[in-house]
């Protein structure tokens, strides 16, 4: 089975999200980018600001992802239809929230959702103890913990299983990942780090549905009679809710970085570029890799970009005045101005293969990585894309971002280039040896 599919169909995105790991994150980003035009519809139909519409869209994306991972999306309707319906509801909720000045409803919904497995009597007891919890203090403690503990709890808050946590954080087994996570929970709840985690482990197994019917019944009875145990259960649910909210906020911010910002200027489009395929000078990439060695993924990408993106004017035979102006800006180092021109051209012809290539490369040089990835992704969805270069271009863009998760995504894309014998295979092999 191929790790990624070329056309990013909804079925393939669902499969990738359910697969987990770095593939899940990659497919989540693809899903966001695929229907990002919903944001403009939210502005027009719901009279929201672009930022508010983007916030509702990202929230809808995460809600659909949660349904997909939780199994509640059965495929009875198309993913696009379900996403749009969810987005429209989020827009309505946001308008209502703005009108009535309400806030905090989402956190209350999360608490109620987390408490659902408990019977009414036990739920009421735990909820009372939760009302006494100092949420701000817990949140402050969370961010004062070691980075490893904090990240593990936030990943857990996303609903990631211990199996996946073990893979992401290099634990040998899921059991070791769970033990470490429970120790982090205990540390969050006490200053001396000596609180036993046996009760927390039982509570964790209860909410993960790992207990037998008899064991669940015993715990539910104990929660009503043992205030210490009920307080620990309240602490567990409260931390889960905090981690879930913080992880969601972090993911919303990451998705917002993928959003192409609107452009106010509109320029008429001229004749398209006729020889864009030679932009990347892949033949010279092998020589560059053999002559220059670097220690980081970002440095590898930077060297290539610096050496090869100043030659566009010498390698393109263009006739459009708009494109020529963009090339002149590019050659003068005015990358923002060049990007503005090509973005306007793409607004007029969003599916033109040559403009997608050129626009993506210019956005990469301007440092707008999200827009560059969006262009290359859209290019990859075209059935008539002949050179398959967009996969390699996208890998370079992820390398340029220089983050651990984007480096892993770049590696997977480079491996795909090699496995599918796409253009840039030799260079991808050399890059992987250096990463």
**pLDDT reported for residue 230:** 93
Q: For residue 144, how many other CB atoms are within 10 A of its CB?
A: 10
Q: Are 432 and 415 in contact (CB under 8 A)?
A: yes
Q: Write out the DSSP string of 214-267.
A: HHHHHHHHHHHH-HHHHHHHHHHHHHHHHHHHHHHHHHHHHHHHTSPPP-----
Q: What is the pLDDT of residue 425?
A: 79
The C-alpha atoms of residue 353 and residue 272 are separated, in whole angstroms, by: 10
* Sign of CA pseudo-dihedral 76, 82, 86, 89: negative
For the stretch 349-406, pLDDT in tens is 777 777 888 888 888 888 888 888 888 877 776 655 545 677 888 888 888 877 777 7
Q: Which residues touch 371 (CB under 8 Å, ≥6 apart)?
A: 260, 339, 343, 359, 360, 363
Q: What is the pLDDT of residue 107?
A: 47
Which stretch of 13-27, 99-113, 271-285, 324-338 has the lowest confidence by average pLDDT? 271-285
Instruction: Band the pLDDT of 125: cuts 50, 70, 90.
Output: very high
Per-residue confidence at 259, pLDDT binned at 50, 70, 90? confident
Domain ranges, ordered by start, for the chain: 10-99, 116-250, 276-434
> pLDDT at position 80, please?
87
| Tens of pLDDT, residues 299-327 | 766 766 665 555 554 344 444 667 777 77
What's the CA angle centered on 222, arms 219 and 228, to 5 degrees?
Answer: 110
Tell me the pLDDT band of 276, cut-offs 50, 70 and 90: very low
| Buried-state track 340-375, b at ≥16 Cβ within 10 A, e below 16 | bbbbbbbeeeeebbbbbbbbbbbbbbbebbbbbbbb
pLDDT, tens only, 159-208: 888 988 998 888 999 999 999 999 999 888 864 343 446 889 999 999 99
**What average pLDDT does range 101-119 have in this prediction?**
61
Per-chain mean pLDDT for the chain: 77
What integer pLDDT is reported at residue 287 of this predicted model? 45
CB-based contacts of 103, cutoff 8 Å, min separation 6 = 97
What pLDDT, in 10s, does the model give residues 217-234?
Answer: 999 999 999 999 999 999
Measure the CA–CA gap between 310 and 317, rounded to whole angstroms.
Answer: 15
**What pLDDT, on a 0 to 100 scale, did the predictor assign at position 189?**
80
The domain covering 276-434 belongs, at the CATH homologous superfamily level, to: Tetratricopeptide repeat domain (1.25.40.10)
pLDDT of residue 119: 92
Given CA atoms 285, 286, 292, 294 in this order, what sign does their dihedral have?
A: positive
**pLDDT band of 100, cuts 50, 70, 90:** low
Q: What is the dihedral of CA 369, 372, 376, 378, to 10 degrees?
A: 110
CA 382 – CA 408 distance, rounded (Å):
25
Q: Which helix (H) or strand (E) holds 296?
A: none
Q: Which of 68, 57, 62 is nearest to 17 (CA)?
A: 68
Radius of gyration of the chain (CA): 25
**Res 75: pLDDT:** 54
Angle at 160 between CA 53 and CA 90, to 5 degrees: 20
Query: How far apart, in whole angstroms, are the C-alpha atoms of residue 412 and residue 3?
Result: 8
Q: Do residues 304 and 311 make contact, with C-beta atoms less than 8 angstroms apart?
A: no
The 10 Å CB-count burial string (b at 16+, else e) for 273-289 is beebeebbebeebeebb
The 10 Å Cβ neighbour count of residue 270 is 16
Q: Taking the model in full, what pTM does it have?
A: 0.55
> Using N-to-C axis directions, what is the helix angle for 389-401 and 353-366, rounded to 10°?
20
Phi-psi region of 68 (alpha: psi -120 to 50; beta: other; left: phi over 0): alpha
pLDDT classification of 269: cutoffs 50, 70, 90:
very low
- Average pLDDT estimate for 333-345: 80
Half-sphere exposure of 47 (CA within 13 A, CB side): 4
Closest alpha carbon to 59 in 30, 21, 89? 89
Which candidate, 276, 333, 273, 342, places its Cα nearest to that of 305?
Answer: 333
CA dist., res. 14 & res. 12, Å (int): 5
Structure confidence at residue 308 (pLDDT): 52
Q: What is the spatial distance between Cα 332 and Cα 325, in angstroms, rounded to a whole number?
A: 11
Q: For residues 416 and 16, is the Cβ–Cβ distance under 8 A?
A: no
How far is Cα 359 from Cα 364, in angstroms, rounded to an integer? 9
Contacts for 226 with CB less than 8 Å, ≥ 6 apart: none
In whole angstroms, give the CA distance from residue 409 to residue 26.
7
- In the 8-state DSSP scheme, what is residue 272? P
- Whether 268 has a pLDDT exceeding 50, the answer reads no
What is the per-residue pLDDT for 4?
41
- The reported pLDDT for the residue numbered 11 is 86
Predicted pLDDT at 314: 37
Task: Report the C-alpha gap between 207 and 128 in whole angstroms.
Answer: 18
For 43-77, what is each residue's pLDDT tens digit? 888 888 888 899 999 999 998 888 887 666 555 45
Instruction: Report the percent of the chain where pLDDT is more than 90.
Output: 19
- In CATH, the number for domain 10-99 is 1.10.1740.10
pLDDT at position 203: 94
Mean pLDDT of 77-100: 83
Is residue 241 within 8 A of residue 285, CB to CB? The reply is: no
pLDDT reported for residue 116: 84
């Amino acid at each position: 089975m191929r790790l990624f599919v070329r056309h990013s169909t909804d079925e393939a995105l669902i499969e990738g999200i359910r697969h987990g790991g770095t593939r899940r994150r990659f497919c989540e980003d693809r899903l966001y980018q695929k229907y990002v035009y919903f944001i403009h519809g939210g502005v027009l139909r719901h009279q929201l600001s672009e930022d508010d519409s983007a916030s509702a869209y990202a929230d809808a994306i995460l809600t659909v992802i949660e349904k997909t991972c939780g199994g509640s999306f059965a495929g009875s309707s198309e993913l696009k239809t379900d996403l749009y319906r969810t987005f429209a509801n989020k827009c309505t909720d946001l308008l209502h929230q703005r009108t009535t000045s309400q806030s905090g409803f989402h956190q209350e919904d999360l608490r109620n959702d987390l408490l659902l497995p408990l019977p009414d009597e036990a739920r009421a007891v735990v909820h009372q103890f939760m009302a006494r919890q100092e949420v701000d203090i817990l949140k402050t403690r969370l961010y004062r913990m070691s980075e490893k503990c904090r990240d593990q709890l936030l990943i857990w808050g996303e609903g990631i299983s211990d199996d996946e946590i073990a893979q992401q954080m290099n634990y040998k087994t899921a059991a070791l990942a769970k033990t470490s996570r429970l120790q982090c929970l205990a540390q969050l709840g006490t200053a001396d780090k000596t609180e036993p985690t046996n009760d927390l482990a039982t509570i964790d197994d209860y909410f993960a549905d790992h207990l037998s019917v008899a064991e669940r019944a015993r715990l539910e009875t104990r929660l009503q009679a043992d205030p210490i145990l009920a307080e620990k259960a309240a602490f567990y649910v409260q931390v889960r809710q905090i981690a879930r909210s913080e992880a969601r906020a972090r993911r919303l911010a990451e998705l917002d970085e993928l959003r192409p910002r609107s452009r106010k200027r509109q320029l008429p489009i001229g004749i398209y570029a006729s020889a864009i395929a030679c932009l990347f000078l892949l033949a010279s990439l092998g020589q560059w890799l053999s002559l220059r060695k670097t220690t980081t993924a970002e440095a590898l990408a930077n060297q290539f970009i610096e050496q090869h993106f100043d030659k566009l004017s010498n390698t393109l035979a263009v006739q459009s005045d708009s494109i020529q102006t963009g090339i002149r800006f590019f050659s003068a180092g005015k990358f923002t101005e060049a990007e503005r021109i090509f973005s306007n051209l793409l607004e007029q012809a969003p599916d033109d293969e040559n403009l997608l290539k050129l626009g993506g490369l210019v956005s990469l040089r301007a440092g707008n990585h999200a827009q560059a990835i969006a262009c290359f992704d859209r290019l990859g969805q075209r059935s008539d894309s002949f050179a398959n270069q967009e996969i390699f271009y996208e890998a370079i863009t992820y390398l340029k971002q220089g983050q651990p998760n984007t480096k892993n995504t770049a590696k997977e894309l480079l491996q795909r280039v090699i496995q599918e014998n796409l253009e840039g295979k030799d260079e991808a092999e050399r890059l992987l040896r250096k990463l």
